[in-house]
Chains A and B, each alone.
Chain A
């Protein structure tokens, strides 16, 4: 066990830091959810990252990456969050679909999609959930009907983040008449294809952060299916593993938030009870514990190990620590917590209310925490299925 970065790793950190300091926009970009301008500004940032070959450092060089290991990916992420760089508008592509495509895609698909994904030329949305199929994803009803060398897609998808402005989506569809886990395929489709209608859904604060997708006889070539026909469930579970595992939520995200929380506490501590220091300390400890756990996992994966049901423990831990951390900040703000950031709230340490609202969704998306607890109980601990 050696908890010290090598000279090479330190040099890599310095290189990332220098590039980010020179390139991260001075002013925050407009949200990619509220306007086309904000979305395109984030796409431009992805292009800039890609020009520096910083888009996805773990990817092979052929697809725009640097072929680096997971420890260097963690270092990159630490510097990325430290620098306050823009949110990754193509998160669904680079963190979820990309790794899945490398595992299940054909050479033609990889060559066609991955470089454009890394470059931000194609921004991706996920089209899995349906009004009748959330936690029970095997209840998906949308269909892919084979018609020669095409599929005809019909149905309705929901809760698709970024889908209002995104270019492509990866969706889960079933062969008509098939049931449950059988007969499903993962199909890629352009969001501007004839027959696709997108409708934004307003979140509780009015922000339109996700969307419904309606599919009415949308024709896509069968070559845009990822993985074998009828193997969609298997492919999706691999993607979900990436999602809950270490790709979706970098520890650095919470460590930076904990640092901001400590700063907020110090600004207000003269009129706070001593117990507040303990809650701040707890949030810092939880963010650190998550980071240490991910470093341990990354060391194991870099040595050829695998990640299994523990990805479900990660998802529960980060989603719960996120809420507790934001709530601690709001409790420090006290009566000022309810004020809408940017309008009435003049606190400069962060937009705690918006972050709190987003954190509330953490235990729901990427597989609800109840489903994760079932996975831990059944696959890690061997308890019987219901």
Chain B
């Protein structure tokens, strides 16, 4: 039993986090919006040079041969900066999915080499980042297809989060694009990465609220010196503290693929979503009227947290999984870890 990250995992997460915090500031986000660019090529290049998109890819194909547990801290950091580029969708979803297919038509190697492959999983009604993708993985019933972008029609769907590039995809299934294999654990990976990002987003909202509460004076003293404000923020921090270990456990147990493991993923998504939601709303409250403005950067983080709550399965979907687990399998203190239950 070792519920802790290794020194290597901590080091790689720290390196990625420093790069993200440095290159993806709120000022950078505003600049990208003003430029109307679909991707920050300099930042994406840095991400690629660090080898992050291929973190989980096989080493013989140029990847780093790691696992979801090595990526989860980076996902939290990506949430902390509200990273717009599809690092997690590439590293944690598209590449593991391509690697799991019996035939990926060469797209695994291309994705590791820098191609963007967008994923149209049926749990999400729209496909993210399809405009910058070289190819899309799409579903026709139970069949998976890999379709080049030039063979689909994209219709942009405007999200509350301006960095969420969502598209309705119109396409025609073709025997030539069909690939052998299924979705596997793709939805669970998506839920976990969304959960980890929401932990980071929630912490960012709290950190911003703390900074503002120290700085903002009313009644002749910082508002953060009053218990009313302290207790709001502390309550949100408690939610985060008890969602983060659930995300970590769910990631470590993902490979088991059993109902207890699936329920832990569901638990992680619910808990992280509630924590991020409370942190974001608390931060708006601490900022007061300024929190409602475009001028204050808080909305970038609030919007991403908002969107991710509904991506990769809603809380209601995930609650159904938890209810199935607790009503059909043993519970109690000797069943905390998924491996203790065989099914």
Contacts and interface: CB of A to CB of B under 8 A. Distances in A.
Contact of A284 (B231, B242, B249, B326): B326
A339 interface: no
A243 to B, nearest CB: 17
B131 interface: no
Given A262-B326, A380-B237, A5 B248 contact: no
A303 interface: yes
Residue from the set B230, B243, B251 with the largest chain A CB neighbour count within 10 Å: B230
Contacts of A104: none
A71 interface: yes
A383 B267 contact: no
Interface residues on A, range: 35 or more
A295 B248 CA distance: 12
Interface in B218-248: 222, 224-227, 229-231, 233-235, 237-238, 241-243, 245-246, 248
A1 B319 contact: no
Interface in B244-265: 245-246, 248-249, 251-253
A300 B336 contact: no
A313 B164 CA distance: 34
A358 B225 CA distance: 33
A255 to B, nearest CB: 4
B327 interface: yes
B50 to A, nearest CB: 22
A259 B331 contact: yes
B241 A277 contact: no
B160 interface: no
B339 interface: yes
B206 to A, nearest CB: 7
B13 to A, nearest CB: 13
B169 interface: no
Nearest to B67: A1
Contacts of B246: 285, 288-289, 292
A90 to B, nearest CB: 22
Interface in B1-50: 1-6, 9
Nearest to A278: B319
Nearest to A373: B234
Q: Is the interface of A mostly helix, strand, loop or mixed?
A: helix
A110 B322 CA distance: 47
Contacts, number: 168
Contacts of B334: 13, 78-79, 82
A359 B319 CA distance: 26
A299 interface: yes
A306 to B, nearest CB: 14
Nearest to A298: B3
A326 B99 CA distance: 47
Given A1-B248, A383-B214, A384-B214, A281 B1 contact: no
Interface string B112-134: 00000000000000000000000
Contacts of A382: 210, 214
Nearest to B321: A281
Contact of A3 (B3, B6, B229): B3
A295 B241 contact: no
A251 B213 CA distance: 34
7 contacts: A1-B9, A1-B248, A284-B331, A291-B333, A292-B248, A316-B235, A377-B233
Interface of A: 1-6, 9, 13, 71, 77-79, 81-82, 251-252, 255-256, 258-259, 262, 266, 277-278, 280-281, 284-286, 288-293, 295-296, 298-300, 303, 310, 313, 316-317, 370, 372-374, 376-378, 380-386
Given A81-B333, A383-B233, 15 more contacts: A4-B337, A251-B333, A251-B336, A255-B332, A266-B327, A289-B242, A292-B246, A295-B245, A300-B4, A316-B238, A370-B227, A377-B231, A381-B210, A383-B225, A383-B229
The 7 closest A-B pairs by CB, nearest first: A377-B230, A78-B333, A252-B333, A373-B234, A376-B234, A255-B333, A292-B245
